[in-house]
Amino acid sequence: MFSRVEFRPGYPDASCQNKQLSAITKLNLAIAGTPGTEFYPGFQPESNEIQFVKHRISAAYNSELLTLLDSRCIKTVVLAGLSTSGVILSTTRQLADMDFRIYILQDAVIDSNSTVHDVLLHSVLSSQANIMTVDAAKNML
């Protein structure tokens, strides 16, 4: 499943009390239907892959993700994408509290700060998720 951030024009769905979302609204980013909400070329979902919109940093907060997982009886998730200190951290924490089994693909996540990325993966997130490479995950299939 693929998530992307998207807001309505005028940002009625973005709280001014949320520091990260306030930065997005000030820059007039992530408005529905604009190029900034599309997947990066080469990383788009296939036509048979599910995608959903999120309005917060966590992919699980008030999005379709939990419904999509529940309806398929899925209790294990594999996380990849941007950014380690944003969506990966927030989504991992929320799903761990909901008793999901979580795998993070260390060579398929990135952060603008490599030190923060390393500390989060190996000292913080590793207490709630299994950290592994893409190749190791493929070998588990």
All structural domains of the chain with their residue ranges: 1-55, 57-141
Q: Does domain 57-141 have CATH number 3.40.50.850?
A: yes
The pLDDT of 130-136, averaged and rounded, is 98
pLDDT score at 38 = 87
Q: Best-predicted range by mean pLDDT among 12-16, 21-25, 30-34, 90-94?
A: 90-94
* Secondary structure element (H or E) that encloses residue 89, with its range: helix 89-97
The distance between the two most distant Cα atoms of the chain, rounded to a whole number of Å, is: 46
The pLDDT of 38-43, averaged and rounded, is 86
pLDDT score at 41 = 86
The reported pTM is 0.89
Distance CA 82, CA 62 (A): 19
pLDDT score at 137 = 96
Distance CA 124, CA 64 (A): 26
